[in-house]
Structure 1
Amino acid sequence: MAFLVHDARHLERPSRRLVDRAARGTRRLWRVDVLQALAVASVAVAIALFLADGGATRFADPGAALTSLGIIAGLVATDLVLVMLLLAARVPLIERAVGHDAAMALHGRLGKPVLYLLVAHGMLLVAGYTAADGIDVVAEVVTIWNLPDLPLAMLGFALFVVVVVTSLVTVRRRLRYEVWQLVHLLSYAAVLAALPHQFSVGGLFVEGGWQRWYWLVFAVGSFAAIVVFRVVVPIATSMRHRLVVESVVPVGRPIDGVFSITMRGRRLETLAASGGQFFIWRFLAGGQWWQAHPYSLSAVPHSDRLRITVRALGDGSSSLARIAPGTLVALEGPYGIFSEAARTRDRIALVGAGIGVTPIRSLLEQATFRPGEATVVLRTTAPGDGWLLDEVADLCRSRGATLLTVPGPRGRGWLPDAAEREGLGLAALVPAVADSDLYVCGPRGWAEQLIAEARAVGLAPEQIHHERFDW
């Protein structure tokens, strides 16, 4: 194992920046709390409107009680689906508060509960109607099937099942990103197919009622957010900046399949992008235009240049190595809070592995710190071997940061076997880590082990910053 260490002077005098960063971090976490409270409140409002509109009186007998519980399950499921749409809409307020990664993680976690609620919705309604009508289950199902918009609602349910199943980790790993993304678009069709029966079946959403207006505003607002921030804004951004490929340059050994793509455009400073953030890129060439690629910036953006560094891990990313200069590029973003926006401390520790060095390198270039306040730890396969390692070393040397390269085969944890045998860990490599912001980027399992160790040595959740791209 080898370490590349640069001289770092520790300055211990009190810092006004620490107060500013702590206050900024507190404000961001306060916005996160408000958004979470709004999500919970939306569920409470959905239930309260039902109960206030006569629902509270419908628990007089078993049949009516089952029917009411079924209605509540359906309302909560619909509410959570609309919350999922907002989480995936890339609304700037949500992006800047919780970050794209956390928003999409919550979006994914809500899928199964929504599915269970929809199943409960159907089963409870059938049971309630059967008890109230005094007929057998089969006859009741036939009767319900003939209600307005019910076949369309069942189609929506079937589409939602497909989306949830394809989002399971074991299934997701077998699908190409583009195929999974296409299937995931079915969630919009599922919602559109299921919503009409809420307004046409029974008298729940009568004309002029509060419930009807609540759900209309919520549904229309959620889909409007999708259209505006997923379609209109990206198209306008791409047209305004006219981004084109300038060069594609190999990085490291040819066998590694790593290359940097530099793009030039107009007024790129107005994107307000910063080191550590990512965009979703579409290269408008034959066979490429329909593929969306989430890649981090590997250098701080300039007024007329953006750069990403890509590792060929599949057919889509491999084909980017052959993109011709002059190819138009459409982009969405910038996204993520793997940036200065998440800072809460003066000290900063950047830990990366593999192609995870790309946001580490761009964040290192832009982050504000004094000599001795920054440490970079890079996992590499061999001493002196790492993508963009020379650039990172130059930045550390010029800015007074400490760079440690930790080479060798990975052990049971996030460090190589040799380091583990020596008893090294995060606290040994970064002695001031407990008083630092920790930024982690690398393979998912590796990152999870490192984050678990960071929590074990006392880092608070707001000090740990990690984003992944396998959502």
Structure 2
Amino acid sequence: MTTHLAPPRRATSQGIDRPRLARARRRLRWADLLVMVCWSSVAAAVSLYLASGGLLQVVDVASAVTALGIVVGLIGTNLILVMLVLAARIPLVDRAVGQDVAMAFHRRLGKPALYLLLGHGVLLTTGYALQDGSNVISETVGFFSGSDFVLAYAGLGLLVFVVLSSVVAVRRRFSYEAWHVIHLLSYAAVLVAVPHQLSAGAVLAGGTWQRVYWIGLYVLAFGSVAAFRFAVPLVRSARHGITVAGVEALAPGVVSIHLRGRDLERLQTEGGQYAIWRFWSAKTWWHAHPISFSAVPSAHSARITVRDLGRGSSAISRVLPGTRVSIEGPYGIFTDAARMTNRVAVVAAGIGITPVRSLLEGARLSSGEATVLLRATDASQQYLWDEIQNLPGMQGNTVYSMTGPRPPGVATWLSAEALNRGVTLTSAFPHLSDSDLYVCGPASWTELVVRDARVAGLAETQIHVERFDW
């Protein structure tokens, strides 16, 4: 394995691979269509309310405030259901944008949806109080006399809890397992508010297009969750009968878990993808973890590599041979299929080597097409490095290594020694502009690599990132 980076060279353009570019553009069009459908659903919710005569009921300030509260509530509820669809792991969504992008969009919608629903409650309470000639406090107390409104308040309270737990500063105080359980409350929060939405007033009266639309949206959201988060994984797990074949220690706190099963090639796993794994042992059955494949599965075997990052992953690393395993997936577009150029530049750090190793194994690479830079703080983090050079597709391609801590007080992904030598992303990858860049590692470190790629002028469509955070 080469231990020093190449000196700066002028890039030699190899051009864009047109078939790959065409596939990438089709995927991007699907992504644009999904975004358009999401926002169109919000427009449909408001349009149906207006078309049903919602504005005709506005005759004074009280009715105007009430109508505004209804519109705000419809938009907020629509966004919540869109969030559930994005989190349902629908294969079409995964192939178009990848689960990480879908979940990033899901998270961005969380606060606006919550604010809208809070505004819905405030506006309706104010509007009803104005109509009744009472005050907001009395009107709120009156709401609790109806079971539908009690459920609505309960659902709103659950949503507040879920959104607050998702704020980065708060989320870091939870283990992944605890946060995941809390997040499942979002399903309950939406469900308990359904009776309120369908029975309150005449907004969604029976026989109206509004009622048809909302019932259809609820069926889509919860049907997708039921199908792709529960039914499909159950069937897939039963079909393949995956169990633990053995656990191999790679370094302190890092193990490879070897799996065996039936017809694993039918999973159609691409190198670079991950799955949601649940190990059915006494200490691990109650939580599932997203873990990348560290090797492309064969017909009867697969492998994942895990680093201890909490109590859950620590327990997984101690599972015994024969333990049954459930699988959801595979997921992700950190794959060779996302490429649009003839060249590949790869930067991986720490446990980020896991999807990179399977990506390179599954990629269709010719001699001279790939340049790989493996990054570690010290020798203890060089997981699977010895396997990279020996992959069949890496014959005739270049592998660099960079070991050492980053300089204190400097926002860089480079080691202090490399930075002092004048190494940059473009000197390490002289053909960067003609390459697809794949980056995987700790979130803050990854962002620095992507920053340098953007400064170098690399198109966003040529940057592919797999993050190891949640």
Q: TM-score by structure 2 length?
A: 0.94
Residue aligned with 1:110, SS: helix
The residue number in structure 1 matching 2:3 is 3
The residue number in structure 2 matching 1:159 is 158
The residue number in structure 2 matching 1:312 is 308
Measured after TM superposition, the shift of residue 30 of structure 1 is 0.2
Residue aligned with 2:96, SS: helix
The residue number in structure 1 matching 2:204 is 205
Look up the equivalent residue of 1:68 and give its one-letter code.
Answer: A
Q: 2:277 aligns with which of 276, 281, 289?
A: 281
Q: For 1:22 and 1:320, locate their aligned partners in 2 and report how far apart those are by CA, in whole Å.
A: 40
Q: For 1:137 and 1:189, locate their aligned partners in 2 and report how far apart those are by CA, in whole Å.
A: 27
Show the 5 A alignment for 1:310-389.
310-382=306-378, 386-389=382-385
Asked if 1:394 corresponds to 2:393, the answer is no
Q: For 1:321 and 1:81, locate their aligned partners in 2 and report how far apart those are by CA, in whole Å.
A: 36
Measured after TM superposition, the shift of residue 464 of structure 1 is 0.9
Residue aligned with 1:127, SS: helix
Q: For 2:11 and 2:458, locate their aligned partners in 1 and report how far apart those are by CA, in whole Å.
A: 21
Show the 5 A alignment for 1:449-464.
449-464=448-463
Measured after TM superposition, the shift of residue 469 of structure 1 is 4.2
Q: For 1:174 and 1:231, locate their aligned partners in 2 and report how far apart those are by CA, in whole Å.
A: 28
The residue number in structure 1 matching 2:175 is 176
Unaligned runs of 5+ in 1: none
Measured after TM superposition, the shift of residue 148 of structure 1 is 4.9
Of all paired residues, the percent bearing the same amino acid is 49
Residue aligned with 1:129, SS: helix
Measured after TM superposition, the shift of residue 315 of structure 1 is 2.0
1:175-217, CA deviations, whole angstroms, 9 ceiling, x for partnerless residues? 1111111111110000011121111110111111000110011
Residue aligned with 2:157, SS: helix
Measured after TM superposition, the shift of residue 307 of structure 1 is 0.5
The residue number in structure 1 matching 2:61 is 62
Residue aligned with 2:297, SS: coil
Look up the equivalent residue of 2:3 and give its one-letter code.
Answer: F
Residue aligned with 1:453, SS: helix
Q: For 1:310 and 1:204, locate their aligned partners in 2 and report how far apart those are by CA, in whole Å.
A: 51
Q: For 2:432 and 2:394, locate their aligned partners in 1 and report how far apart those are by CA, in whole Å.
A: 22
The residue number in structure 2 matching 1:91 is 90
Look up the equivalent residue of 2:344 and give its one-letter code.
Answer: I
The residue number in structure 2 matching 1:440 is 439
Measured after TM superposition, the shift of residue 384 of structure 1 is 9.6
How many residues are matched?
463
Q: For 1:430 and 1:11, locate their aligned partners in 2 and report how far apart those are by CA, in whole Å.
A: 9
Check whether the contact 2:363–2:393 (CA below 8 A) recurs between aligned residues.
no
Check whether the contact 1:383–1:405 (CA below 8 A) recurs between aligned residues.
no
Q: CA RMSD for the aligned pairs?
A: 2.0
Q: Which segment is superposed worse, 142-151 or 197-206?
A: 142-151
Residue aligned with 2:295, SS: coil
Change (3 A) 1:394 1:290: same
Q: TM-score by structure 1 length?
A: 0.94
Asked if 1:218 corresponds to 2:214, the answer is no
Q: For 2:464 and 2:404, locate their aligned partners in 1 and report how far apart those are by CA, in whole Å.
A: 25
Q: For 1:414 and 1:406, locate their aligned partners in 2 and report how far apart those are by CA, in whole Å.
A: 10
Look up the equivalent residue of 1:206 and give its one-letter code.
Answer: A
The residue number in structure 2 matching 1:102 is 101
Measured after TM superposition, the shift of residue 397 of structure 1 is 8.3
Residue aligned with 1:322, SS: coil
Measured after TM superposition, the shift of residue 244 of structure 1 is 1.1
Look up the equivalent residue of 2:122 and give its one-letter code.
Answer: M
The residue number in structure 1 matching 2:418 is 419
1:270-320, CA deviations, whole angstroms, 9 ceiling, x for partnerless residues? 100011000111111121111212111111211111001111222222222
Change (3 A) 1:384 1:193: closer
Measured after TM superposition, the shift of residue 264 of structure 1 is 0.9
Unaligned runs of 5+ in 2: none
1:322-343, CA deviations, whole angstroms, 9 ceiling, x for partnerless residues? 2211111111100111112211
Look up the equivalent residue of 1:128 and give its one-letter code.
Answer: G
Q: For 1:171 and 1:14, locate their aligned partners in 2 and report how far apart those are by CA, in whole Å.
A: 47
Look up the equivalent residue of 1:215 and give its one-letter code.
Answer: W
Residue aligned with 2:344, SS: strand
Residue aligned with 2:81, SS: helix
The residue number in structure 1 matching 2:126 is 127
Check whether the contact 2:11–2:431 (CA below 8 A) recurs between aligned residues.
no
Q: For 2:80 and 2:234, locate their aligned partners in 1 and report how far apart those are by CA, in whole Å.
A: 26
